[in-house]
Amino acid sequence: MAGTRAAIRYAKAVLSLATEKQIADAINTDMVLISKTIEDNAELKAMLENAVVKSETKKEVLLQVFSSSNDITKELFNILVSNKRVDIIQNVAKKYSELFDIQNGKEMATVTTAVPMTEDLEKKVLAKIKELTSKAVEVKNIVDETILGGFILRVGDMQYNASIANKLNKLKREFTLN
């Protein structure tokens, strides 16, 4: 992902300022809205990534679309435009939300399953994660039929792979070694 390191730097700076002014929650709301809006609107995303469109035009569009945003968020738009980095606004917004969650002791757990998780299974997974990490965790389910069955759990930098595909690959490696 282009500009990821820069996005993290901008996100850290904004989070630091927002925390100092005790409005990190409000800024997080803005960042979630920005990220979701750009993700859902292909035209807006294309316009922001288009090198032909002038930076000032991009800034005007962002200020109109996100007119109810906090002043710090609007200032972020100005800084990104002046540094010619407005194309990474979506990454900055995502990274801000991730850093905000970490700062508040929340973590995102990704559970990859072959079929959508049931509510009962989600409760069991949440209980297990809570037991392992002792943090507030939000679960995101990704459906990937290639794992055949079971699940792959990712929390932070930990991964637990209990997929059928993984077990079959282990068996295959054992047979090829002998």
For the chain, 178 residues long, give each residue's pLDDT as a single digit of tens: 456 899 999 999 999 999 999 999 999 999 999 999 999 999 999 999 998 999 999 999 999 999 999 999 999 999 999 999 999 999 999 999 989 988 888 878 888 888 898 888 788 777 777 777 777 788 888 999 888 888 888 887 788 888 888 888 888 888 887 6
The DSSP symbol for 116 reads P
pLDDT for 3 equals 66
What tokens appear for 141 in the block?
Answer: 């389910």
88, 3 Cβ separation under 8 angstroms? yes
Which pLDDT score is estimated for 96? 95
CATH class (in words) of the domain with range 4-102 = mainly alpha
User: What's the pLDDT at 137?
Assistant: 80
Let me know: does 38 contact 89? Beta carbons within 8 Å: yes
Q: At what angle do helices 42-49 and 55-65 cross, to 10 degrees?
A: 150
**CATH 3.40.30 intervals, the chain:** 106-177
Q: Please provide the CATH number assigned to the domain covering 106-177.
A: 3.40.30
Residue count (the chain): 178
- CATH 1.10.520.20 domain position(s) in the chain: 4-102
Global pTM?
0.70
pLDDT at 42: 93
Q: What is the pLDDT of residue 1?
A: 47
